[in-house]
A and B are shown apart, each in its own frame.
Chain A
Amino acid sequence: MYIQVDNAKTFIATGGKPFDASLPSVVLLHGSGTDHRGWALQARWFAFHGYSVFAPDFPAHSLSEGSALTSIESMGSWVIRALDAAKVTKVHLVGHSQGFLVALEAAVLLGERLKSVTALATASAIPVNHALVETAQKNPTAAAEMMLQWGFGNQHQYGASAVPGMQPIGIGARIMANNPLATDLAACNAYTKGSERARQLASMSCPSCVILAGQDRMTPKKEGLKLAQDLNTQARVVEETGHMLPMEAPKQSLSIMKTFIQSVEK
């Protein structure tokens, strides 16, 4: 569906079913340079199993218009305005990589609307090599390829796909090459409040779930474990998978996500 946020046409993927704000909403936040399609399979499951799905393309990403946001904090407050525009009341925030940094910022602003947070392949800080940011500014395609080469795990580098016949690296490359990757990476690099926000959520007794990838070379597992410690929760690790966890292991990641969110709803 399309909604207006900050006077910009904004695309929200709803998992193939009309959005119903009265249902518990699973809010899926994408990572740097990507879009809602990284959640394609998980979104459909939630949408067809009693939840409403709210998976936005951030401003200037893929199907959304507007100007790219330049800080994680501004992305977090944008999420709140987007949720307000759709009148979302019960929020399970889920973020992949940069998307979870945004989720941390949004979570502390949501108040009683927040039901849980779920982190996938991320950490409380995501420092980005300056050379990668520069490459993304000058040659987004080259930067996207560098990230995909690092981002996907071994099996996907050898052409594996959770969806028969598809090439996730090729799909990711096409999405990332057209999105404001440099802006996203610079925002990640500048963000330093992740650990503080995670501890804040823990002090609020916010239910949280951390899902890490065994072959993650972008947000290494040890950094994700620190995040889990800050959130005061246990981390689950999907082995044989790289940083692009939602696309590489949709079945395994969904299994953990749905078990957790269902337990919160009970």
Chain B
Amino acid sequence: MSKSSFLGADTIALHSGYQPESDHGSRAVPIYQTTSYVFDSVDEASALFNVEQGGHIYSRITNPTVAVLEQRLAALEGGAGAICTASGMSALFVSFFSLCSAGDHIVSAAQIYGSTVTLLKHSLKRFNIDCTFVDINDQTAVSNAIQDNTKLVFCESIGNPGLAVSNLPAIAKTAHAQGIPLVVDATFATPYLNNPIEHGADVVVHSVTKWIGGHGAAVGGVVIDGGNFDWLKSGRFPTLTQPYEPFHGMNFWEEFGPAALAMRIRCESMRDIGAAMTPHNAFLLLQGLETLSLRMQQHVSNAQAMVTWLQQQEAVAWVNHPDIDADTHTKTLFPKGAGSMLTFGVKGGRDAGAAFINALQLSSNLANVGDSRTLVLHPGSTTHSRLSETDLVAAGISADLIRVSVGIETLKDIQADFSLGLRAAAKIVANQVEA
């Protein structure tokens, strides 16, 4: 496995991609809040437009502040390059858009984020891109689902919200055996807990909004090109290995090799779709990234303690976290712990679950994860409410499931808050019994 930096992860998170600029010596990464960049000359402008020179033209395509975040995340994940986008969903979209055309096919894990299901099952379908959903850890099912027109296998390293850990080396082996790349949404893991490229992934996507930012103040996404996949040898990727007419017949594979996908996304998706990250959001997300490892340690520590605590509570019916009875691949892929998401159900079903959430005072009932604060949600009535009953079961979502993104508050305060909720849930159960 090739490296992209010789610095340690914590140093990369703080320094990579930026050294104090010469004009003013700004220690923090400056916010280049500008739409466009003055060219030295017509010749320079022409060279930039024709990719004869690196640099910035227009902030829909690139921006110096955003580029720091891109280079930092590429280095952290061990990739060849990265493209930041307006959100995690747009990062997924430009990845699929760059690899697939009408008539193509995707094999996806069934247990994934609800909006990603919608994208794969409905939105891309309108453009004649089909998707087959499978149990991603059943390699026979994955292999059987791959068709002549399949362009990628997709999974989340930790599924949302079922929290199943994808066996990345096994999935990569299955995909690569048929000349297919593995695209992994690693949002729940963050680069601190797991680097999918090390385990066979070819493309890594994050919603940077979540733990990487950590503050819940900015939305953003990133696509990281692993740089290891041989797009030519696969024979399935004309978008990367055939001339691209809008850039004078540019052949991304021949000209940029390991960064072919990143350059295609830059040249096509950012230009034509324009789902660009704003420089201010990039700055905010960089502030979060700088302390990612410190926060993740507290996130994981609190999550593991909450799992144990919830398992001891009378009002709790069940608790799920990947570290509970972890299988071998989970232990191998997540030696520092498998994240800070947990799910549980309270006795009394959906009504008791609703009472639990409504009684909380510290924790926030909202549709986000990875904030430094503890967040709770009932996916069946919110993020995954558009899924059918069948899809809900496939995604590992029961009616009573409460999703918790464990924050970094003082542990006893989270427990005190959850005690309030559990007491409210218990009252519902008592009323049900009386009725």
Which among A16, A45, A159, A174 is the interface contact of B5 at CB below 8 angstroms?
A: A159
B282 to A: closest C-beta gap in Å: 11
Q: Which residues of B contact A163 (CB under 8 A)?
A: 54, 81, 259
Q: Which residues of B contact A43 (CB under 8 A)?
A: 255
Which among B15, B62, B80 is the interface contact of A164 at CB below 8 angstroms?
A: B62
| Surface stretch bound by B, among A34-42, A121-129, A183-191 | A34-42
A54 to B: closest C-beta gap in Å: 14
Q: Is A22 an interface residue (CB 8 A)?
A: no
Q: Which residues of A contact B51 (CB under 8 A)?
A: 41, 44
Interface size on A, residues (CB 8 A): 42
Q: Are B82 and A158 in contact (CB under 8 A)?
A: no
Q: Is A171 an interface residue (CB 8 A)?
A: yes
Closest-by-CB residue of B relative to A176 is B2
Q: Is B17 an interface residue (CB 8 A)?
A: yes
Q: Is B30 an interface residue (CB 8 A)?
A: no
Closest-by-CB residue of A relative to B248 is A16
Q: A163-B54, A164-B64, A175-B257 are in contact. Are A155 and B5 (CB under 8 A)?
A: no
Q: A37-B256, A159-B5 are in contact. Are A170 and B54 (CB under 8 A)?
A: no
Q: Are B17 and A16 in contact (CB under 8 A)?
A: no
Q: Which residues of A contact B74 (CB under 8 A)?
A: 165-167, 170
| CB-based A-B contact count at 8 angstroms | 152
Closest-by-CB residue of B relative to A37 is B257
Closest-by-CB residue of A relative to B74 is A167
A150 to B: closest C-beta gap in Å: 10
Question: B239-264, CB under 8 A of A: which get 1 and which 0?
Answer: 00000000111110011111100100
Which among A37, A45, A48, A149 is the interface contact of B255 at CB below 8 angstroms?
A: A37
Q: How large is the interface on B (under 10, 10 to 19, 20 to 34, 35 or more residues)?
A: 35 or more
Q: Are A167 and B75 in contact (CB under 8 A)?
A: yes
Question: A184-209, CB under 8 A of B: which get 1 and which 0?
Answer: 00000000000000000000000000
Q: Which residues of A contact B257 (CB under 8 A)?
A: 35, 37, 62, 171, 174-175
Closest-by-CB residue of A relative to B243 is A16
| Surface stretch bound by A, among B65-73, B92-100, B134-142, B337-345 | B65-73
Closest-by-CB residue of B relative to A35 is B257
Q: Which residues of A contact B75 (CB under 8 A)?
A: 159, 167, 170
> In the complex, A175→B15 CA distance in Å?
25
Question: A14-49, CB under 8 A of B: which get 1 and which 0?
Answer: 001100000000000000000101001111110010
15 A–B contacts, CB within 8 A, in A order: A16-B250, A40-B256, A44-B50, A44-B52, A141-B2, A158-B15, A160-B17, A160-B19, A161-B71, A164-B71, A166-B74, A166-B80, A169-B4, A171-B259, A251-B53
9 A-B pairs closest in CB distance:
A170-B4, A159-B16, A173-B2, A163-B54, A164-B67, A165-B70, A45-B52, A166-B81, A159-B17
